[in-house]
Amino acid sequence: MQKYFFLTRVNVKFPGNTYTLFYTPKGVLPYSKDRRILYNPSYLCFMHLAETSLTKRDIRKLKPDELKKFFVEHGDKPFRAIQVDEWLWKKSAKSFDQMTNLSVATRELLKEHFAINHVHVDKMQRSTDGTIKNAVILHDGLIVESVLIPAEKRITACVSSQVGCSLACKFCATAKLKRQRNLSADEIYDQVVAIKEQAELFFNRPLTNIVFMGMGEPLLNYANVTAAIEKVTSPKGLGMAMKRITVSTVGVAKMIIKMADDGVKFNLAVSLHAALDKTRSSIMPINDSNPLSELADALRYWYHKTKRKVTYEYVVWKGINDSEEHALALLKFCKVIPSKVNLIEYNPIGDEEFQQADDKVLNMYMDLLEKNGITTRIRKSRGKDIDAACGQLANKN
Ligand code: SF4
């Protein structure tokens, strides 16, 4: 029988580099020759040895021309940069030793000058429903969480865009963590890579979808989120389809307008949760600066430019938005532009104020929306037992 264990991470420091080893209750994991993935069939664990450094320059921050220049200056051919680029992005190399088509001397030269500050999974937890939550450690020691959600026909990566969050939505566990910084494009990309590898290793299936619904507000880190998406969809990166990617926002109106102007091709979801200003402001402070009228205008602009629907994420809580008045307000808002609705099951975060509404209330919402032609789905949350479900990510592992 296969067993899953939480892994203990041990950092081993050598000059300039930190190597990370993982231990199971039966000793250190065996590792493959190229040190990329350590895998023992009797213990479903995976890991890599990451070469990270705070002092050396991260090679992935170099532009292609800078890398070419580096090789030329060191007496090598410019095309070496293309080989390295392929290792860094398409093959997601985490150490220079993996770059086996480079000579040992070239690998040593790279090690001398650069680091690969790839994130790595510090701890992995697996839910009884198959969901995997990763605590991902960044090169500066900060931690974010990302989640692999398996379903019959898809495997979805839910990734974070910021360390913590500044927007203070009252129902959200992440809001309890102060925002510390934005994730870089590489760090976002690396979360996707880690989940892609887990999908292949544990499910023997490819990663199919990506949602930006982890920690942080993606539109407050727009440049890095879009740069990461560009890499994920590039044939030089993971080559995933744009239509498989969804960015979810609490509704930063001016950024929705910018996305429309930029002609982005990924999907847009809005965490709405209330279509009456008074209620929405009471649970989501962003609504004070971005009231529903401004959000509606931004969405009209989005649809005018992109001709693409929006998905509203909506949780119904007892005593907060469980009245018919709220359901009617949602219906009215759904008519602003073509849209669909996900009614999401709520996962308590230890706050008595927020309790999932009864099924009959959900059915009232569902009937009203469906009768009026709005496609509506009730989404059961996944990974509740490991605090990996929507709104639960708070580095509690
Ligand atoms: S719901 Fe999103 S935007 Fe609101 S606090 Fe949580 S992470 Fe931030």
**Domain boundaries defined on the chain:** 59-115, 120-386
Expressed in angstroms, the distance from the first to the final Cα of the chain is 25
Distance 273 CA to ligand 1 centre (A): 12
Alpha carbons 176 and 395: distance in angstroms, whole number: 10
Q: What is the mean pLDDT of the chain?
A: 85
Which position among 45, 51, 145, 169 bears the catalytic label?
145
Query: What confidence score (pLDDT) does residue 126 get?
Result: 84
Model pTM score: 0.84
Alpha-carbon distances, residue 293 vs 10, 168, 242, 300, 365 (angstroms): 52, 21, 29, 11, 22
pLDDT tens digits, one per residue of 203-222: 999 999 999 999 999 999 99
Predicted confidence band of residue 21 (pLDDT cuts 50, 70, 90): very low
Burial class (CB in 10 A: 0-12, 13-18, 19+), 123: middle
Query: What confidence score (pLDDT) does residue 52 get?
Result: 60
Q: Which helix (H) or strand (E) holds 132?
A: strand 132-137
| pLDDT over threshold 70, residue 14 | no
158 is catalytic: no
Q: Which of 11-20, 218-227, 354-363, 388-397 has the lowest mean pLDDT?
A: 11-20
Alpha carbons 90 and 291: distance in angstroms, whole number: 42
Query: What confidence score (pLDDT) does residue 20 get?
Result: 47
Q: Which fold would CATH assign to domain 59-115?
A: DNA polymerase; domain 1 (1.10.150)
| pLDDT over threshold 50, residue 43 | no
pLDDT tens digits, one per residue of 129-151: 889 999 998 888 899 999 999 99
Mean pLDDT of 158-176: 91
Pairing of strands 339-344, 310-314: parallel
| pLDDT over threshold 90, residue 264 | yes
Q: Which fold would CATH assign to domain 120-386?
A: TIM Barrel (3.20.20)
The best mutation among 146, 250, 273, 313 to test binding of ligand 1, ranked by most ligand atoms within 8 Å of the C-beta, falls on: 250
Query: What confidence score (pLDDT) does residue 41 get?
Result: 34
| pLDDT over threshold 60, residue 26 | no
